[in-house]
Amino acid sequence: MASAKWGLALVTPASRGLGFAFARQLLSHTSLPVLATARRNSGEVRDRLLDGIHDASGRARERLKVFEVDVTDETTIHSMATQIREEYPKTALRIAVTVPGVLHVEKSPTQLDAADALHSFKVNALGPMLLMKHLAPLLPTKSSAPFAEDSTPSTSTECQWKLPSHAIYAMMAARVGSTSDNATGGWYSYRASKASVFQLAKTFDLYLRTRSRDQALAVALHPGTVQTDFTKDYWNGRDMLQPEESAARLLQHLCTMGTRDDDGRGRCWDWKGEEVLP
């Protein structure tokens, strides 16, 4: 059973790519229970997440739980949230990273397909919205005690970071969702659906300012161009980040963020710690 003073970490989905890397980083460099999700084959995903993990606590297998969740099916999200409340009573989320994403490429308006565009919005926009709906009650309130410092030593000199005493709720946006940064066009449904994450992060953070005050914040993230199955059609000739590097850099930045207005809450930050304007 998790101690309420330490909190929980959650990554959804975590079956591959960037989400997989986030979950591995949290297993390796914190002592928190790590809750991960996969659409199917949760047992297989759990085994892959644990493969080769050498966490300082030596209890990674006990700390990891994988739920089967499809972000386009709200009943699975509701079921996960219910199980978390039952299995970890009075223990709040300390860090949550939501990374659902799908890409249908349209180079011109004539290539838009209604079913594909709807799928983009269901995964990239509605998915994060439904996760936010069901996970919001699991974040600390303004009357909650601050989390205890996680003093578990890092197992790698390349990733030295510790979690702050407040909760962090991070949503994966993308630089191509930025209107101000759009210089090339194309990718209509992906750009439009990812642009919504900038708005969701800001709106959710405003809600947390009232509900949680300095006990929780929300931000959006841009991971850089990461070499995963998601980007495999664009590997040739590109300088790309590995998922582990992107996840580690993003977590390092998140763990330095405070809850004051000028600390960056409610905004979008990239893997270099630089703001991505909407």
Domain-embedded: residue 276 = no
Tell me the pLDDT of the chain (278 aa) as tens digits. Answer: 566 789 999 999 999 999 999 999 999 999 999 999 999 999 999 999 999 997 766 789 999 999 999 999 999 999 999 999 999 999 999 999 999 999 999 999 999 999 999 999 999 999 999 999 999 999 999 999 999 876 554 444 344 578 999 999 999 999 999 999 999 999 999 999 999 999 999 999 999 999 999 999 999 999 998 876 555 565 565 667 899 999 999 999 999 999 988 889 999 999 999 999 99
- pLDDT at residue 4, rounded to an integer: 73
Domain-embedded: residue 51 = yes
pTM of the predicted structure, to 2 decimals: 0.92
- Give the residue numbers spanning the domain of 13: 8-270
- For residues 249-276, one letter each, b for 16 or more C-beta atoms within 10 angstroms of the residue's C-beta and e for the rest, the string is bbbbbbbebebeeeebbbbbbbbeeeeb
CA–CA distance from 239 to each of 102, 234, 236 (Å)? 21, 10, 9
- pLDDT at residue 55, rounded to an integer: 74
Say which residues have a Cβ less than 8 Å from residue 263's Cβ, sequence separation at least 6: 217, 257
Among 248, 242, 240, 239, smallest CA distance to 221 is for: 248
Domain-embedded: residue 1 = no
Domain-embedded: residue 206 = yes
Pairwise CA distance, residues 96 & 204, whole Å? 13
- pLDDT at residue 151, rounded to an integer: 53
Domain-embedded: residue 108 = yes
Instruction: Order across the sheet with 34-38: list the strands.
Output: 64-68, 34-38, 8-12, 93-98, 167-172, 216-222, 268-270
Domain-embedded: residue 191 = yes
- pLDDT at residue 252, rounded to an integer: 94
Task: Assign residue 216 the CATH number of its domain.
Answer: 3.40.50.720
Domain-embedded: residue 44 = yes
As a residue count, the chain comes to 278
Domain count of the fold of the chain: 1
Angle at 21 between CA 157 and CA 231, to 5 degrees: 125
Q: Tell whether the torsion through CA atoms of 140, 208, 97 and 57 is positive or negative.
A: negative
Pairwise CA distance, residues 155 & 160, whole Å? 9
Determine the distance from the C-alpha atom of residue 177 to the mean position of all C-alpha atoms in its chain, rounded to a whole number.
Answer: 16
Domain-embedded: residue 127 = yes
- pLDDT at residue 158, rounded to an integer: 40
What radius of gyration do the chain's Cα atoms show?
A: 18
